[in-house]
Structure 1
Amino acid sequence: MSDSCASVEQAYQLARERYASLGVDTEQALARLATIPISLHCWQGDDVVGFEQSGDELGGGLAVTGNYPGKANTPDELRSDLELAYSLIPGKHRLNLHAIYGEFGSHVPDRNEIDTDHFTGWIDWAKDQQIGLDFNPTYFAHPKANDGLTLAHPDKAIRDFWIEHGIACRKIGAAMGQATGTACVTNSWIPDGYKDTPADRKSPRLRLLDSLDKVFAEKFDPQIHLDAVESKLFGIGSESYVVGSHEFYLGYAITRQTLLCLDAGHFHPTEGIADKFSSVLMHVPEMLLHVSRGVRWDSDHVVTYTDDLQAIALELVRGDYLARTHIGLDYFDASINRIAAWAIGTRNMLKALLMALLEPTEQLIAYEQSGDFTARLALMEEAKVLPFGAVWDYHCLKSEAPVGMAWLNKVKDYEQSTLLSREAECSAASVNA
């Protein structure tokens, strides 16, 4: 055993004793953490471009800034980048795909014509990597979404087009779940809304309700496929009115018994989603989280170890909601190394979960139930400075993931060997064209 490994082991043993003095079993916490998969979002790897090569702008309130070299341009490049990212993260995780990431060949079908054949490469790769897949219809970056409306569009032909897309995506998701042996969560988010104050808020929501019911008409085995619906407060171009508000989708999820997706960046800047879990899960079977970080009017910054993130993890553990919650990430940053963005965000999500699993929750609840709120507050504050970092380092070591900042060295090496040469090849191709 190397000196560095020995020091990690030694620090962990001291931390284990410290936690044990408060009734916390670190081995039990680590065993539980190892069973929690995080669904990495493919769109961080290429700035939400996909492989249609249609040239359409994102739209739908989405914008990616930055031009860090080396973004993935092909499915194989994206899979290579993801494999490195997974190697930097302790545990076994998932991949969240958008519909624009199919392998379409020389003939790119329109969105309502995609099928499972376009995702065979991803399914085979996922089976080889032994990871699960999740899926998303892509209701943006398309000529039929240029006016900001899709499933709520007043033109029936356009609504029908997007309904067909949604139906196709659910079938693809079910095929993914069947092939990988783990349920695929297909999440529906649409950008529909208005830039300025509408005169009629009701009609678009009635149209959306009808469209969703048609999309979800076919039922799938929940062992292979689950549906989720996702709200958003506003987007660029829909500042004044979003058809699919939180209240709309909360009602829809409850009445149709779908999953509700809560995105950490889709609410008011001072509004945390953790407080919603205990209410939402009284009425829906399961929940999907898109963990992100809102900054002012942008909802999709790289996840950092914030109070909001810790609150999410603590509520999942305290409420015993982990078994009913699917955790995914959703952000895009092209101003930094894209693989590092995956690693930073996912490792932070796992750190927050570990911190929550190491909390002396039973003692806190006992103080609360006895009315000793002084002791509750005192212990909550003391728990914040327990030697959590030593347990995290040990988890990485035992999972054969890099400890500390060692993961960044692997990213930098890959940047030199692969990403920069990829950028040079793209530049040369552009000049020749």
Structure 2
Amino acid sequence: MTESTLTQATTMYSQAKELYAASGVNTEAALERLATIPISIHCWQGDDVGGFENPDGKLGSGLAVTGNYPGKARTPDELRQDLEKALSLIPGSHRLNLHAIYLESDTPVERNEIEPKHFQGWIDWCKSQHIGLDFNPSCFSHPLADNGLTLTSPDKGIRQFWIDHCKASRVIADEMGKQIGSKAVTNIWIPDGYKDTPADRMAPRQRLKAALDEILAAPTPNNIDAVESKLFGIGSEAYVAGSHEFYLGYAIEKQIALCLDAGHFHPTEMISEKISACLLYVPELLLHVSRGVRWDSDHVVTLNDELLAITREIVANNIEDRVHVGLDFFDASINRVAAWTIGVRNTLRGLLTGLLEPTAQLREAELAGDYTSRLALQEEAKTMPIGAVWDEFCRRHDSPVGSSWLGEVRNYEQSVLSQRD
């Protein structure tokens, strides 16, 4: 940023600060609070959900990544290099969300035999970057998941394999949380379901509940357990055992975190509407912030109405200590570092938009039954100079202001990514 541009940005922020103050909003308090909210950045955007267990393997179990943009990460070091670049373009302090298939080992390791040592490289890297670390068992893209059934499989041997994999994942996450000094969120998602109408909807759910009970039996004090639902998937259009109702009930019973994925519901269902309702009954939520287009296609997060509604719910209700925000998308048609950067910066912008809303005035008008004022204030807030406040947040965190980060991505693409193919 040039000296003249910096002076201009500082002036614009000073003016915005005064305008917001006139509306009863403290921009300094908003900036301080935003800096305390980490986003868990998903590793799988960087290599199209390939992982390092079997780099030549095919993605399956209802997952699909489209596009062939050059320069995807092929090794753990390349993936970490790309993540470091993305982190340098994103203001604030964040976390990494890692799947079990991203282990590091010189010899093949079956998923039911993974150990903390296979992820020590990631732990050490996160410590060097001063970021937290979250984890996920990978119950997909494996020969024992080819028929679409894992924890609900009627085959006891297959079911036990996945139970043991999830158990091992919780042990690994607990060690991650212990070493890093920040609890790891471990999220369990399975693809289990049927393409056509099942004859028995109850039995798979009974097996799933029993499997989860076994998985969660051992205490993991440095780990936060979460369970994730889905409405349907490729090859499981008619029935998914792990429905929202199933996992909501299970999370309430076990008092664990419930994961709400923005792409895992009907297109007219919004997870922003579910946040306050679910938190009355479960201790914590994990959000997978994504953008479904017509179906759960996991597009890069844009600053759309649902993202603004999700982020507003978090900050307006002061529940950021109970809501873990993670991203979940994979787009191989665009630069992968840019995808991370766009998604996280938009999520932070959404949170800032909520923090800059005149919440006290809106609630006062609502309690008084003055819905006219409520609507008027909500609409006026939309055209307040949030951009100037966002630029100030970026500047204070030594992050590129405006679209200047795109030039850095292009340079990185030319000097690093283009050399991989």
TM-score range, shorter chain: over 0.9
CA distance in 2, matches of 1:243, 1:404: 44
CA distance in 2, matches of 1:138, 1:287: 20
Matching residue within 321, 327, 330 for 2:328: 330
Report percent identity of matched pairs.
63
Task: Give the letter aligned to residue 369 of structure 1.
Answer: L
**2:369 corresponds to 1:371:** yes
Corresponding residue for 1:129?
129
List 4+ stretches of structure 1 deviating above 4 A. Answer: none
CA distance in 2, matches of 1:131, 1:375: 42
Corresponding residue for 1:227?
225
Corresponding residue for 1:279?
277
- TM-aligned CA deviation for residue 123 of structure 1: 0.6
**How do 1:15-414 residues align onto structure 2 when only pairs under 5 Å count?**
15-53=16-54, 55-105=56-106, 107-221=107-221, 224-414=222-412
- TM-aligned CA deviation for residue 57 of structure 1: 2.3
- Contact persistence 1:8–1:394 (CA under 8 A): yes
SS of corresponding position for 1:226: strand
SS of corresponding position for 2:391: helix
- Contact persistence 2:263–2:295 (CA under 8 A): no
SS of corresponding position for 1:238: coil
Task: Give the letter aligned to residue 45 of structure 1.
Answer: G
- TM-aligned CA deviation for residue 56 of structure 1: 3.5
CA distance in 1, matches of 2:315, 2:132: 23
- TM-aligned CA deviation for residue 371 of structure 1: 1.1
CA distance in 1, matches of 2:78, 2:276: 41
Corresponding residue for 1:430?
none
- TM-aligned CA deviation for residue 54 of structure 1: 5.9
- TM-aligned CA deviation for residue 298 of structure 1: 3.0
SS of corresponding position for 1:323: coil
Cα deviation, 1:18-68, whole Å, max 9, x if unaligned, reads 000011000000000000000000000000000012643222211000000
- Contact persistence 1:56–1:143 (CA under 8 A): no
CA distance in 2, matches of 1:62, 1:375: 46
CA distance in 1, matches of 2:292, 2:131: 28
- Contact persistence 2:50–2:57 (CA under 8 A): no
Unaligned runs of at least 5 residues, structure 2: none
CA distance in 2, matches of 1:204, 1:340: 40
- Contact persistence 1:46–1:72 (CA under 8 A): yes
Cα deviation, 1:176-197, whole Å, max 9, x if unaligned, reads 0000000000000000000111
Cα deviation, 1:373-418, whole Å, max 9, x if unaligned, reads 1111111100000000110011101110000011011100000000
CA distance in 1, matches of 2:287, 2:334: 24
Task: Give the letter aligned to residue 159 of structure 2.
Answer: R
Task: Give the letter aligned to residue 68 of structure 1.
Answer: Y
TM-score, length basis structure 1: 0.96
CA distance in 1, matches of 2:59, 2:76: 19
- TM-aligned CA deviation for residue 319 of structure 1: 1.8
- Contact persistence 2:264–2:296 (CA under 8 A): no
Cα deviation, 1:272-325, whole Å, max 9, x if unaligned, reads 101111110011111100000010123300000000000001111222211111
Cα deviation, 1:209-235, whole Å, max 9, x if unaligned, reads 0001111110121xx210000001111
CA distance in 2, matches of 1:319, 1:131: 25
- Contact persistence 1:266–1:299 (CA under 8 A): no
CA distance in 2, matches of 1:115, 1:237: 31
The change in CA–CA distance for 1:166 and 1:295 in structure 2 (over 3 A counts) is same
